[in-house]
Amino acid sequence: MRFSPSSAGLVSSIYLLVGFLGGILGGYHFSRTRHKIAMFVIINLMLSFLLISLGFVHNYIIIVFITIALGMLTIYGFSVMYTFIRYISRRDLVSLSLSFNNSIQLAIAAIAPIIFTGIAYSYSYRVSWIVTGIIPLVTLPLILLIKNDLKNSISAFN
């Protein structure tokens, strides 16, 4: 499926604009839920499913709805991740920890479009979306590795 440049720009704008709402909802919900780690895992699973589904959807309306959900969930997930970092970092190293996290995110954000485009050019957009959707699944075990430390930090923080 091909988007005109103006349609692609509109969909990208929707993604960014609804992300703002997702960040607000993420922070609000995260501070009130007792199942913080489970929520983070569910968000990542939903992101993976939606990203992979983009490779198989050919209806503009459905793509727009998926984009809205992705925008909200992505920033929602970032809010949760930043809060996790605040919980697990030493008080005097919170700024450094958040900066390090931002550096990693920026590096991935700079490389991801190049990899996506290379895969799309060599194989197909469908394969690119599948690979993009697998990335949250591959990185999910990292949060599970620190699950006990995270649980202890969250309960000590509250």
pLDDT of residue 50: 94
Within 10 Å of residue 28's Cβ, how many Cβ atoms? 12
Q: Is the CB of residue 69 less than 8 Å from the CB of residue 11?
A: no
pTM, two decimals, is 0.80
pLDDT of residue 119: 93
Tell me how far apart the alpha carbons of residues 105 and 112 are, in angstroms, rounded to a whole number: 10
Task: Give per-residue pLDDT as tens, 117-126.
Answer: 999 999 998 9
Region 72-91: mean pLDDT is: 80
Residue 27, Cβ density class (10 Å: 0-12 exposed, 13-18 middle, ≥19 buried):
middle
Region 97-110: mean pLDDT is: 86
